[in-house]
Structure 1
Amino acid sequence: MSGAANPALLLGASLSAMAAALHLAIIVGGAPWYRCFGAGEGMAKLAQAGHWWPALLTLGIAFVLLVAAAYALGAGGWSAALRGLPGLRWVLLGITAVYLLRGLAPWPAMLLQPELRQPFWIWSTLICAGYGGVHALGLAQAWSRL
């Protein structure tokens, strides 16, 4: 890959890394944090009981978000070491699609079912749509160089 670094993909990488850090903080924060960030009462109760499942699931999400950050850094030209990640173009396209789907797909259901219009779903959906938009912009700018 040649050319200048891509600021949109740097922002996308930063957003994914911050989301990963938040997920790690939720593990440390325990049940109150699972409740606060909308994981559901079931997950909060499991965390409160010391069950391994909430931490493992949340750690898995954090890992996926860190991989997304690494791919955005590689595609954005910010790290020579990450430019050689396998399937850089297509994996980043998949990451972008997942963010956009998570950010856009829930809206019809929320519009049709008012009980789904909970703050967690509204905010997380808006955040994911924003993340997807940033990644899409960066990917469009870098596509020909990948």
Structure 2
Amino acid sequence: MNRRENNFLIAASGCCFLAAFAHLGCIVFGADWYRMLGGGEAMAQMAEQGLWYPTLITLTIAAMLCVWGTFALAGAGVIKKLPFTRCILVVITSVFLLRAFSFSALMPMFPGNSLTFWLVSSGICLFIGSLFAVGTKREWSRLTQANV
């Protein structure tokens, strides 16, 4: 593209794709990966039983992360801008930061997940959300200066 790339959004994209691959690893490698990555014992047991639910949920999360990574690349100027990129980047940022800070409210809904899972995953969401926030802010300013 003809403008300087946004390294914060490139890093956010990489994190999203890495997280998507980790989720896909749960599907490929099964219950042990659900346990190792903190998916909870219930998800691990359902995976062991060959039920479709863990696969569907995990594929949905992986697909969403891939879409978000693609929007980060579009916002960074690595690929062609996608429709509503700026607005979607704000939504993605908000989702990551909301997830990071609302873990204590979410914990009772997922009793099978350990405190370690909640702290680590919330820290990861805070990190990725911060990358999206800084990258989106920089992108927004650049677009405003260019009158685009």
TM-score range with shorter-chain normalisation? 0.7 to 0.9
Cα separation, 2, equivalents of 1:15 and 1:120: 18
Deviation at 1:36, TM superposition (A): 1.3
Cα separation, 2, equivalents of 1:2 and 1:143: 16
Deviation at 1:29, TM superposition (A): 1.2
> Out of 75, 81, 87, which is 2:84 matched to?
87
Deviation at 1:26, TM superposition (A): 1.0
Q: Aligned letter for 1:97?
A: S
Taking only the aligned residue pairs, the percentage that are identical comes to 39
Cα separation, 2, equivalents of 1:107 and 1:78: 36
Deviation at 1:117, TM superposition (A): 6.9
1:53 pairs with 2:50: no
Which residue is 2:134 aligned to?
A: 137
Which residue is 1:103 aligned to?
A: 100
TM-score by length of 1: 0.87
Q: Quick check: 2:16–2:68 contact (8 Å CA) kept in 1?
A: yes
Q: Aligned letter for 2:27?
A: I
Deviation at 1:107, TM superposition (A): 5.0
Which residue is 2:110 aligned to?
A: none
Which residue is 2:124 aligned to?
A: 127
Do the aligned partners of residues 143 and 122 (structure 1) sit closer, same or farther apart at CA in structure 2, a change above 3 Å counting?
A: same
Give the SS at the match of 1:20. Answer: helix
Cα separation, 2, equivalents of 1:117 and 1:32: 15
> Out of 103, 108, 115, which is 1:118 matched to?
115
Q: Structure 2: 5+ residue runs without aligned partners?
A: 108-112
Cα separation, 2, equivalents of 1:61 and 1:109: 17
Q: Aligned letter for 2:71?
A: Y
Aligned length in residues: 138
Which residue is 2:5 aligned to?
A: 5
Cα separation, 1, equivalents of 2:55 and 2:85: 29
Q: Aligned letter for 1:20?
A: A
Give the SS at the match of 2:83. Answer: coil
Deviation at 1:18, TM superposition (A): 0.4
Deviation at 1:137, TM superposition (A): 0.4
Deviation at 1:3, TM superposition (A): 2.8
Greater mean alpha carbon deviation, residues 62-71 or residues 28-37: 28-37
Deviation at 1:130, TM superposition (A): 0.5
RMSD: 2.0
